[in-house]
């Protein structure tokens, strides 16, 4: 008996143990590993993934598979292995690792159609099933027991199985026609046609010179009546062609050519091209200032990959997936590019995914999850802005795209390029160790100067009586830009709003005496609390450093900035970009387009405007309050500040006009602000590494974060304590356990959250014991209302 071992999708009973099911006779030929199936599970029918097929010699009573959901495996052998690896690395359950690889459209149960592709004809027994239609519901074919035959035809390319997704821009088909006459006969035929057959003549002539091509009716200019009569005469043939929902439909991408590389670009690209040609795996860290020509290196490396007949994956952070970025790939590689990001509808995503799966494209440009693109001959994976924290998924499976990329590259023996102007400390440390190969671009292309940076001490401003959120320098420069009709970008980080306490006179920020982080202000209790170690104290009313009463919790919203700016400069045209103005689909692009068209003088926004912008007339960038990110309770806050300031500065003066940057801050002496102003990555790296070493943080230590939540606060804390007691004996004395303490956001969705952070270097038993804990609580399921999760290498603490 053939038996399939299946990972079932049962939320309440999470386990990695596969269950065995009998494969009924009629599916013997169909069911394969990597396919989804419907199986009985208790009283219900659930979805599952087939892990493997075994021949079972034991006589036992197994429940049979209800039916397959796919006709060819949706996950390749490689992706199945990757899922297995993810399960171990990120301590997730296998089912979530399998699900993350597929587009959302495919999670919808049952909306499948079987469609003729129109190129070849079907064997008669199947043709009768279609009864002249081009599409039939999956169930009809399945009921007729024809799936094995259908699978053969799918492999032949005669038919395909698609998921019908109801969403905006429903998939369409279009009639295509092709002329069957030779060029000569075509001319002859037209010559001998009756005088009044004008329309038919015109239609035929439309084919002249392109008679081998499939054309839409519209392209030939013929009506369906004309088509019918030409079809009747056997002069043309027709087919139904599927039109993808194209997120870029109606847009034209002017093709461009590779640029002649500068000397330093040439030096950087050579080792990359060598590994592409040799088919060896290697991770390159391409460290180049903004505007140094990294993207051109990506493009030319990809060309090489395509020439070799392979495929490339390009990851960019969600927020920098601007039309500008996509456009550069579309212009170079045209229809060979698929794009995947959260701005697409479910249907559009599914269609882009299918283009990849059918190998109709060679390149995918996408956000984090595009790292799972179902290519099977990968020649290069690129991660642009590799330091971006959005590459880490914050829900199961809690993977980092960088790790997945490196795993896949090793599988396919191809290189990975990690690109950044401000590499993550982790990556740079690996490059220094020789684990990654460091490639450096020191200068902007054509030696365009980096912008000059002015650091403005806002304490000084206050002393001089300026209480506005604009320093005099910034204000004067904005006015100057208005006169010159150049553009300004104003940047404000809204995160950290009101969450820390700062003295406006001396810049004092309340920090934890036991950790190198600032404490979070709790307004209702007027308390300060450290969320790393749990230390707590009352919030001060006067500054403990200088005695000033100007100590308060800090934060200003973009809206407030806009209001103040309009008061000062009533004529100014502002585009505000933040969560409020970019909530709807396409609004991000629209606002940027307006700014590019110079419909505004000032672009004001949160971190979503920090990267990717490349407009020639931006000559001034203002950072309103560099401190807001500096004092987040996060050991990466200095690194994030440095990265953000560098990124934002990089928006200015990218073209012929030189750029200026004004950074307003209450802590001008802070090294991440100073060194960002100098664009001195190397020194920042050295200094920050010292801090991390002292604090016992990555890259010197690994972190594992355990989160526990429950509707009752007491239950959450007691479970957290129990877990720590359970784990402790498995750890060496070198491991540090912080907590358990209440999470920084102590209640979400009416659930009380507790956490425990483990810092460690080498703990061979750690993952096993954590997995045990997870399975223990998962098994108890809904009955005890307790949720436990583990985040290995967390980004959000």
Which of ligand ADP, Zn ion, none is residue 791 near (CB under 5 to 8 Å by kind)? none
Shorter beta-carbon distance to Zn ion: residue 64 or 696: 696
DSSP track, 132-145: T-SEEEHHHHHHTT
Which residues contact Zn ion by CB under 5 A?
Answer: 503, 505-506, 508, 512, 514-515, 530, 532-533, 535, 543, 545-546, 548
785 binds, among Zn ion, ligand ADP, none (CB under 5 to 8 A by kind): none
535 is in the binding site of which of Zn ion, ligand ADP, none (Cβ under 5 to 8 A by kind)? Zn ion
Going by C-beta distance under 8 Å and a sequence separation of 6 or more, which residues neighbour residue 266?
A: none
414 is in an annotated binding site: no
- In the list Zn ion, ligand ADP, none, the entry touching 262 (Cβ below 5 to 8 angstroms by class) is ligand ADP
| Residues 705 and 760: beta-carbon distance below 8 Å | no
Nearer to ligand ADP, 21 or 491 (CB): 491
Among Zn ion, ligand ADP, none, what does residue 503 contact (CB within 5–8 Å per kind)?
Zn ion
Please indicate if the annotation marks 179 as binding a ligand.
no
DSSP letter for each residue of 40-68: EETTEEEEEEEEEEEE--S----PBP-EE
Residue 503 CB, shortest distance to Zn ion, in Å, is 3
Q: Choose between 297 and 741: whose C-beta lies nearer to ligand ADP.
A: 297
Q: Among ligand ADP, Zn ion, none, what does residue 512 contact (CB within 5–8 Å per kind)?
A: Zn ion
92 vs 441 by CB, closer to ligand ADP: 441
Residue 295 contacts which entry, Zn ion, ligand ADP, none (Cβ below 5-8 A, type-dependent): ligand ADP
Which strands, in side-by-side order, build the sheet including 618-623? Answer: 452-457, 660-665, 618-623, 487-491, 602-605, 574-577
Place of tokens 């493997």: 52
CB 632, min distance to ligand ADP, A:
27
Residue with tokens 């020194």: 683
User: For every residue of 738-776, which 3-state class applies, written as one string?
Assistant: EEEEEEEEEEECCEEEEEEEEEECCCCCHHHHHHHHHHH
Q: CB of residue 431 vs ligand ADP: minimum separation in angstroms?
A: 17
Closest to ligand ADP by CB, 441 or 512: 441
Which is nearer to Zn ion, 40 or 696 (by Cβ)?
A: 696
Region label for 157, one of left (φ > 0), alpha (ψ between -120 and 50) or beta (otherwise)? left
Looking at beta carbons only, is 391 or 666 nearer to ligand ADP? 391
**In 71-131, at which residue ranges do the beta strands (DSSP E only) sit?**
112-116
Nearest to 704 by CA among 589, 773, 794: 794
Which residue, among 392, 424, 640, has the nearest Cα to 517 in the 3D structure? 640
CB 508 to Zn ion: min, Å: 4
- Nearest approach in angstroms of CB 259 to ligand ADP is 4
Residue 506 site contact among ligand ADP, Zn ion, none (CB < 5 to 8 Å, cut-off depends on kind): Zn ion
Burial annotation 461-484 (CB, 10 A radius, 16+ → b, else e): bbeeeeeebbbebbbebbeebbee
- In the complex with ligand ADP, the residue whose CB is nearer, 327 or 536, is 327
Residue 637 CB, shortest distance to Zn ion, in Å, is 14
| Cβ 288 to ligand ADP shortest distance, Å | 5
Residue 457: which of 206, 307, 309, 627 has the closest Cα? 627
- Cβ 601 to ligand ADP, closest distance in Å? 23
State the Cα–Cα distance between residues 361 and 491, nearest whole angstrom.
Answer: 37
Among residues 435, 376, 458, the alpha carbon closest in space to that of 630 is found at 458
Question: What minimum distance in Å lies between the beta carbon of 522 and ligand ADP?
Answer: 41
Task: Return d(Cα 375, Cα 302) in angstroms, integer.
Answer: 14
Q: How far is the CB of 515 from Zn ion (least distance, A)?
A: 3
Chain-centroid distance, C-alpha 439: 24
**Can you spell out the DSSP letters for 487-539?**
EEEEE---TTTT-SEEETTT--B-B-TTSSSBPEEETTTTEEE-TTT--EEEP
Give the separation between CA 215 and CA 50, rounded to whole angstroms.
41
> From ligand ADP, Zn ion, none, which one binds at residue 716 (CB under 5 to 8 Å depending on kind)?
none
Q: How far apart (Å, rounded) are the C-alpha atoms in residues 250 and 217?
A: 18
Tally of residues, the chain: 797
* Helix, strand, coil percentages for the chain (3-state, nearest 5): 35, 25, 40
Which one, 479 or 550, has the nearer CB to Zn ion? 550
Is 503 known as a binding-site position?
yes
Which of Zn ion, ligand ADP, none binds 296 (CB below 5-8 Å, type-dependent)? ligand ADP
Instruction: Point out which residues bind ligand ADP (CB under 6 A).
Output: 259-262, 265, 288, 290-296, 445
Please choose which of Zn ion, ligand ADP, none residue 643 contacts, taking the beta carbon within 5 to 8 angstroms, the exact cut-off set by kind: none
Q: Compute the chain's Rg from CA coordinates.
A: 30
Residues 6+ apart with CB under 8 A from 282: 271, 275, 415, 416, 437
Tell whether residue 546 is among the known ligand binding residues: yes
**Least distance between ligand ADP and beta carbon 265 (Å):** 6
Query: Would you say 679 or 789 has its CB closer to ligand ADP?
Result: 679
DSSP state of 387: T
In the bound state with ligand ADP, the residue whose beta carbon lies nearer, of 402 and 444, is 444
Annotated binding residues: 503, 506, 512, 515, 530, 533, 543, 546
Residue ranges of the annotated binding site for Zn(2+) are: 503, 506, 512, 515, 530, 533, 543, 546
């Amino acid at each position: 008996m053939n038996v399939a071992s299946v990972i079932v999708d049962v939320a309440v009973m999470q386990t990695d143990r596969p269950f065995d099911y009998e494969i009924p006779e009629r599916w013997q030929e169909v069911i394969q590993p990597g396919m989804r199936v419907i199986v009985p599970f208790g009283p219900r029918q659930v979805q599952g993934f087939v892990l493997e097929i075994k021949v079972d010699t034991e006589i036992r009573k197994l429940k049979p598979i209800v039916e397959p959901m796919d006709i060819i495996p949706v996950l390749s052998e490689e992706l199945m292995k990757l899922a297995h690896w993810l399960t171990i690395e990120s301590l997730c359950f296998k089912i979530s690792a399998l699900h993350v690889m597929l587009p959302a459209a495919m999670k919808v149960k049952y909306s499948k159609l079987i469609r003729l592709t129109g190129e070849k004809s079907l064997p008669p027994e199947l043709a009768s099933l279609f009864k002249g239609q081009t599409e039939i519901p999956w169930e009809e074919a399945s009921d007729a027991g024809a799936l094995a035959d259908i699978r053969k035809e799918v492999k032949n390319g005669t038919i395909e199985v698609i998921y019908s997704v109801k969403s905006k821009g429903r998939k369409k088909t279009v009639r295509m026609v092709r002329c069957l006459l030779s060029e000569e006969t075509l001319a002859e035929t037209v010559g001998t046609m009756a005088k009044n057959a004008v329309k038919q003549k015109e239609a035929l002539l439309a084919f002249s010179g392109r008679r081998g091509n499939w054309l839409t009716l519209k392209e030939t200019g013929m009506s369906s009546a004309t088509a019918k009569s030409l079809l009747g005469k056997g002069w043309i043939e027709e087919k139904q062609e599927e039109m993808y929902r194209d997120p870029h439909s109606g847009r034209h991408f002017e093709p461009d050519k590779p640029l002649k590389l500068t000397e330093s670009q040439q030096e950087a690209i050579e080792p990359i091209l060598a590994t592409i040609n040799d088919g060896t795996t290697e991770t390159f860290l391409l460290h180049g200032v903004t505007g140094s020509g990294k993207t051109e290196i990506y493009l030319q490396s990809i060309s090489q990959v395509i020439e070799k007949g392979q495929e490339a994956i390009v990851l960019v952070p969600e927020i920098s997936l601007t039309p500008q970025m996509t456009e550069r790939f579309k212009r170079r590689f045209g229809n060979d590019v698929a794009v995947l990001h959260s701005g697409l509808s479910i249907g559009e995503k599914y269609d882009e995914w299918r283009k990849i799966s059918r190998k109709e494209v060679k390149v995918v440009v996408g956000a984090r999850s595009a790292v799972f693109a179902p290519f099977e001959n990968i020649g290069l994976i690129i991660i642009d802005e590799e330091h971006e924290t959005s590459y880490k998924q914050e829900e199961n499976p809690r993977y980092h795209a960088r790790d997945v990329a490196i795993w896949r590259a090793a599988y396919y023996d191809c290189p990975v390029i990690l690109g950044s102007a401000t590499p993550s400390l982790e990556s740079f440390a690996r490059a220094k160790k020789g684990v990654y190969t460091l490639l450096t671009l020191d200068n902007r292309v054509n030696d365009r100067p980096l912008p000059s940076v002015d650091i403005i001490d806002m304490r000084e401003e206050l002393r001089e009586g300026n209480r506005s959120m604009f320093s005099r320098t910034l204000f004067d420069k904005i006015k100057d830009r208005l006169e010159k009709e150049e553009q300004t970008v104003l940047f404000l980080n809204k995160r950290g709003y009101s969450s820390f306490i700062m003295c406006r006179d001396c810049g004092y920020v309340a920090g934890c005496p036991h950790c190198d982080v600032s404490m979070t202000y709790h307004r209702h209790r007027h308390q300060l609390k450290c969320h790393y170690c749990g230390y707590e104290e009352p919030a001060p009313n006067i500054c403990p450093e200088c005695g000033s009463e100007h100590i308060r919790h800090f934060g200003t919203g973009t809206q407030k900035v806009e209001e103040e700016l309009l008061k000062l400069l009533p004529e100014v045209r502002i585009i505000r970009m933040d969560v409020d103005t970019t909530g709807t689909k396409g609004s991000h692009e629209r606002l940027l387009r307006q700014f590019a068209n110079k419909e505004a003088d000032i672009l004001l926004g949160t971190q979503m405007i920090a990267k990717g912008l490349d407009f020639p007339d931006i000559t001034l960038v203002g950072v309103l309050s560099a401190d807001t990110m500096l004092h987040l309770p996060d050991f990466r806050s200095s690194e994030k500040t440095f990265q953000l300031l560098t990124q934002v500065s990089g928006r200015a003066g990218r073209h012929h006009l030189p750029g200026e940057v004004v950074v307003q801050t209450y802590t001008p002496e802070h090294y991440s602000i100073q060194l960002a102003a100098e664009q001195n990555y190397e020194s920042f790296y050295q200094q920050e590494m010292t801090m991390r070493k002292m604090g016992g943080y990555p890259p010197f230590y690994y972190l594992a974060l355990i989160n526990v939540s429950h509707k009752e606060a007491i239950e959450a804390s007691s479970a957290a304590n129990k877990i720590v007691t359970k784990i402790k004996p498995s750890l060496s004395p070198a491991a540090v356990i912080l907590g358990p303490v209440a999470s920084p956001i102590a209640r979400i969705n009416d659930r009380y959250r507790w956490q425990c952070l483990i810092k460690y270097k080498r703990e061979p038993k750690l993952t096993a014991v954590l997995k045990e804990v997870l399975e223990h609580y998962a098994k108890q399921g809904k009955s005890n209302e307790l949720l436990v999760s583990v985040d290995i290498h967390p980004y959000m603490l």
